[in-house]
């Protein structure tokens, strides 16, 4: 269930790609812990570890969007909010069996990550690449 970073997910903006790799690293650590049947405390810790980074990363993208009055900002923000909500819901349901949790993650988080990084963030990246002086966070 791990998600490998690859050029299909690259936005071409160095800081965005760097942060996406870290986000996937944390996500993969979480799903590996679940797959290996590690205890609820460890799973909870890794959820928080991922959550913290998601919040920071979304904030960086939101700063870049508002700095350059990105025209699709609202839609982008809605997708971020949706993911934060889903992450919260999945974390809240993490007391169930490892199989149920893995299924929830696949249904709610994996497809969002692939769609958002591979499409919505790529559009933002293409926009930012045309903004001279954009250096990121
Ligand atoms: Fe984004
Ligand atoms: Fe992103």
CATH code where residue 80 lies: 1.20.120.50
The answer as to whether 136 is a domain residue is no
Number of separate domains in the chain: 1
Confirm whether 9 is domain-assigned.
no
Distance 39 CA to ligand 1 centre (A): 31
Q: Does residue 7 fall inside a structural domain?
A: no
Q: Which two tokens stand for residue 111?
A: 């497809």
Q: Which domain holds residue 70?
A: 21-129
Q: Would you state the pLDDT for residue 23? A: 98
Sign of the alpha-carbon torsion through 44, 121, 7, 114: positive
Q: Is residue 84 part of a domain?
A: yes
Distance 59 CA to ligand 1 centre (A): 9
Here the tokens at position 129 are: 């690449």
* pLDDT tens track for 85-98: 999 999 887 777 88
* Any domain includes 103: yes
* CA-based nearest residue to 112, from 94, 91, 85, 136: 85
Angle 32-119-107 from CA coordinates, rounded to 5°: 40
On the question of pLDDT at 129 being above 90, the answer is: yes
Average predicted confidence (pLDDT) for the chain: 93
Residue 107 banded pLDDT, cuts 50, 70, 90: confident
User: In the prediction, which pLDDT does 98 show?
Assistant: 81
């Amino acid at each position: 269930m791990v998600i490998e970073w690859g050029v299909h997910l690259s936005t071409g903006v160095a800081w965005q790609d760097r942060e996406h790799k870290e986000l996937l690293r944390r996500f993969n650590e979480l799903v590996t812990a679940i797959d290996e049947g590690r205890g609820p405390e460890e799973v909870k810790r890794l959820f928080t570890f991922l959550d913290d980074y998601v919040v920071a990363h979304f904030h960086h993208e939101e700063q870049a969007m508002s700095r350059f009055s990105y025209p699709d900002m609202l839609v982008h923000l809605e997708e971020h909010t949706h993911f934060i909500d889903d992450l919260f819901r999945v974390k809240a349901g993490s007391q169930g069996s490892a199989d149920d949790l893995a299924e929830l993650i696949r249904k709610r988080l994996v497809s969002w990550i692939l769609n958002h990084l591979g499409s919505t963030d790529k559009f933002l990246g293409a926009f930012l690449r045309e903004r001279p002086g954009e250096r990121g966070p």
